Structure 1
Amino acid sequence: MSDSLKYALKKAKIKQLLKTIVISMCVVLIAIVSLYFAGNHFSGKNSSKLKEELFLYNEIAEPNIQIDSQVTTNSSMFGGNIITNRSKNVNGYLVQWNTLTSSYNWLTANIDGNELVTGGLTTSDGKSYEYDKQTKNKAATFYHPSKKYSDKYSTQLRNELDDVSSMNDHVAEVAVSFDQPYTFQEVKEKIPDDLNIAWLYMASPTDDTVRNYGFDPSDSPEKKYNHFIKSLKKYDNDGHDKTIQKFLNKNQTKPFHEVKILGVMLTGKTSNFKPLKNQNFIRGSSVGATAKIVPYITPEK
């Protein structure tokens, strides 16, 4: 083989090698760019899904809890966290509630379920109450009209209207559970005008699961109820939640004025709760967040 042929073959091999290297670099570059855009797409999609789920759950299952802000942290093409800051409006006084740290990635969106569930604490008198795990503030408890409560349950039936009425210069929220279901018109007739109806307790499991469903009726109760029905369907679109499906089957075709309510979350000055003491229609009552009245903040009522 002549020297010129050897040189030509060597030159061709080098050229082919360089071509292969360039092609490989282009393929790797395209793969990296594609991975980046695909990662951002799926990560962003689940980030939006997680935010929507947080607001949806807040609408139907969190009595008098409002979302103040949502901040995305540790965001990357692989996922990140959403920090949700929450509070309670107690008759015009904002009370700090917990902060949720929920995560998302390419495949999943996970709500911080541990912080959504209140904890239980036994007091010195042998009774127990629910509390927020972060702030350690007492959480108001609802009691289902047909559920039996005894020592075997983590939360016993309580009536705390006497206690909250004796507090001076405070505002409070109180979960009032009825002895039987009532219509909204009947509820309004029973509740004093100087108290705010902050949330309607509509449904819950009758076992020991702590999850209540309801909505804020302020401004337009009928419109809010129709929105509540749509939100329940959206939240349980696979039909796995028996409590939601039972409620929908019974009520989704009824007008709001015919739908029965199990209880209410009330807010107001503690002195305004006195007329509710010893009322027969109240099965149980539980105090939640409270705040001391100060001169520079005027209560709503």
Structure 2
Amino acid sequence: MEMERALQRAKRKQLMKTIGIACIVTCVALVIAYKGMTHFTKKQYERLDESLFLRHAVMEPNVTINSQTINSSDLFGGTIVTHRSKEVNGYLVPWGTIESPYTWLNSSVDTTALTSGDAGTDTVGYSYDRPSKQKVATFYHPDVATYHYDVPNDLKAVSQMDGYSAEVALSFTKPVRYKDVVAMIPEESLTIDWVYAFSEPRQADRDGTNGYVAEEPYGFHVAADDPTASLHSFVEALEQWNEKRDDEVVQTYVKRVNDQPIDDVEVLGVTVSGQGPAFQALLDEPLIRAASVGVTVEHVPYIEPKK
């Protein structure tokens, strides 16, 4: 009997020891798993966050990121919410909000919100920002001879909009040096907001004759007090953007402009903003192939237009 009780005590002791070890191992495993998932989730968040800011720096015409916050975040992932706007001659206009999800395994940019929608008829159409439903000022590449839609020239219509400010995307007939663009735009009444640097022409139809607008034009915001610094920041952002893409078009552009002064850099177009009648000065400019109006804002007494 004494021997049996001793064996039972030994078994209970061994069982408790086994349970204790199992609890310790489980706790350690949970801590490691928690730290591991936290690490990978953070990495995915950082990768997505950087990607969103880089994309904005190289291909979002005249768009400002007002805030970028995390929504519904937990151990397994969350959603980055990017609030954006446009400034049109001193007026702030809401632009599409982007919601991009991430998990500890992967992340994805909200490409649906970033892709413009199309509206209009078979021959006359326009693009719009899907979340905000605002009209997009579109660019047209000089190397594409014929487009699916008629190439617009909205300058006359915009110049008749008294009491409004507007942004207009100007596409040129050929690459134009930046200093010649500056000379073309009347500084006292219009602002150069964004430079259309390059893009890949898209030949969409089977016969190769009809292209679509440059949905993803590469370019940069111009700081009026230091346009050279704006160009340098753009080139640096392009190099980071292209690290994992290895896009030959991007590489070629970076090599071409890397050490050039901005005055000598050739551009394909610009986004300009100002009061409607100010655009009359551009009506007879032969270098302008297309002029696509984007956001328009009616003036109010309590907000003074920038120009």
- Place the TM-score, normalised by the shorter chain, in its bin: over 0.9
Give 1:179 deviation, angstroms: 1.2
Residue 248 (1) aligns with residue 254 (2) = yes
Who is 1:34 aligned against?
Answer: 32
State the distance in 2 between where 1:253 and 1:279 align.
Answer: 30
Residue 182 (1) aligns with residue 203 (2) = no
Q: 50, 53, 61: which is aligned to 2:51?
A: 53
Q: 211, 214, 219: which is aligned to 1:214?
A: 219
Secondary structure of the residue aligned to 2:170 is strand
State the distance in 2 between where 1:161 and 1:100 align.
Answer: 31
Who is 1:92 aligned against?
Answer: 90
Who is 2:132 aligned against?
Answer: 135
Give 1:239 deviation, angstroms: 4.6
Who is 2:77 aligned against?
Answer: 79
Secondary structure of the residue aligned to 1:146 is coil
Q: 223, 227, 235: which is aligned to 2:233?
A: 227
Cα contact 2:71–2:78 (8 A) shared by 1: yes
Cα contact 2:41–2:104 (8 A) shared by 1: yes
State the distance in 1 between where 2:228 and 2:242 align.
Answer: 21
State the distance in 1 between where 2:150 and 2:123 align.
Answer: 10
Give 1:19 deviation, angstroms: 0.8
- How many residue pairs match? The answer is 295
- List per-residue Cα deviations over 1:247-289 (Å, max 9, x = no partner): 1233224332321011100011111111111311100000001
Cα contact 2:117–2:128 (8 A) shared by 1: yes
2:24 maps to amino acid: C
Q: Map of 1:108-119 to 2, 5 A cutoff?
A: 108-119=106-117
State the distance in 1 between where 2:36 and 2:245 align.
Answer: 31
State the distance in 2 between where 1:256 and 1:73 align.
Answer: 40
Secondary structure of the residue aligned to 1:29 is helix
Cα contact 2:196–2:219 (8 A) shared by 1: yes
State the distance in 2 between where 1:37 and 1:156 align.
Answer: 56
State the distance in 2 between where 1:131 and 1:76 align.
Answer: 34
In structure 1, runs of 5+ residues without a counterpart are none
Q: Map of 1:166-205 to 2, 5 A cutoff?
A: 166-193=160-187, 194-205=189-200
State the distance in 1 between where 2:68 and 2:11 align.
Answer: 58
Q: Among the aligned pairs, what percent are the same residue?
A: 39
State the distance in 2 between where 1:8 and 1:278 align.
Answer: 107
Give 1:186 deviation, angstroms: 0.6
In structure 2, runs of 5+ residues without a counterpart are 203-211
TM-score (norm 2): 0.92
1:11 maps to amino acid: R
Cα contact 2:123–2:150 (8 A) shared by 1: no
Cα contact 2:235–2:254 (8 A) shared by 1: yes
Who is 1:281 aligned against?
Answer: 287
Give 1:244 deviation, angstroms: 1.2
State the distance in 1 between where 2:245 and 2:71 align.
Answer: 33
Cα contact 1:40–1:76 (8 A) shared by 2: no
Cα contact 2:90–2:305 (8 A) shared by 1: yes
Secondary structure of the residue aligned to 1:138 is coil
State the distance in 2 between where 1:192 and 1:177 align.
Answer: 17
Secondary structure of the residue aligned to 2:253 is helix
Secondary structure of the residue aligned to 1:189 is helix
Who is 1:148 aligned against?
Answer: 145
Higher mean C-alpha deviation, range 38-47 or range 78-87: 38-47
State the distance in 2 between where 1:297 and 1:22 align.
Answer: 71
State the distance in 2 between where 1:242 and 1:131 align.
Answer: 29
- List per-residue Cα deviations over 1:227-247 (Å, max 9, x = no partner): 111110100113532331231
Secondary structure of the residue aligned to 1:139 is coil
Q: Map of 1:4-15 to 2, 5 A cutoff?
A: 4-15=2-13
State the distance in 2 between where 1:105 and 1:43 align.
Answer: 6
1:162 maps to amino acid: K
